[in-house]
Amino acid sequence: MSKNEEIAQRAIVLWLSGIELEEISAIPEVEMIMQRGAIVELDSLPITGPVAQNYQVFSGRSPASFGFFDTLVPHDYSVVAESCGRGVNPKLFPDFLRTVGWTVKYEEKQFSELSNCIEHWIQSVPSSSTCLIVKCVLETPFDSMPLVQALQLAQSWLGETGLVALLSDTHPAFVKSFVNINNFLAEMGILTRKEHDGHIDWSNSLAYFAGHGQLWINLLGRDPQGVVLAFAQ
Q: Is residue 227 part of a domain?
A: no
| Predicted local confidence at residue 129, as pLDDT | 87
When divided into structural domains, the chain yields a total of: 1
pLDDT, tens only, 112-134:
999 999 999 988 887 778 999 99
Beta carbons of 13 and 162 less than 8 angstroms apart: no
> What's the rounded Cα separation, in Å, for the pair 207 and 132?
41
Percent of residues, the chain, with pLDDT higher than 90: 19
- What's the first-to-final CA gap in the chain, in angstroms? 69
> What's the rounded Cα separation, in Å, for the pair 220 and 27?
48
| Predicted local confidence at residue 94, as pLDDT | 82
Q: Find all residues with CB under 8 Å of 213, minimum gap 6, and list them.
A: none
Q: Is residue 182 part of a domain?
A: no
Q: Is residue 199 part of a domain?
A: no
Q: In the structure, what pLDDT confidence band is assigned to residue 3 with cuts at 50, 70 and 90?
A: very low
Q: Is residue 19 part of a domain?
A: yes
Q: Compute the average pLDDT of residues 68-91.
A: 46
DSSP characters for 67-108? S--SPPPPTT----BSSS---SPPPPHHHHHHHTT-EEEEEE
pLDDT, tens only, 121-168:
988 887 778 999 998 888 777 889 999 999 999 999 988 888 999 988
Q: In the structure, what pLDDT confidence band is assigned to residue 205 with cuts at 50, 70 and 90?
A: very high
Q: Compute the average pLDDT of residues 103-109.
A: 89
Q: Is residue 134 part of a domain?
A: yes
Q: Is residue 35 part of a domain?
A: yes
* Predicted confidence (pLDDT) at residue 213 exceeds the cutoff of 70: no
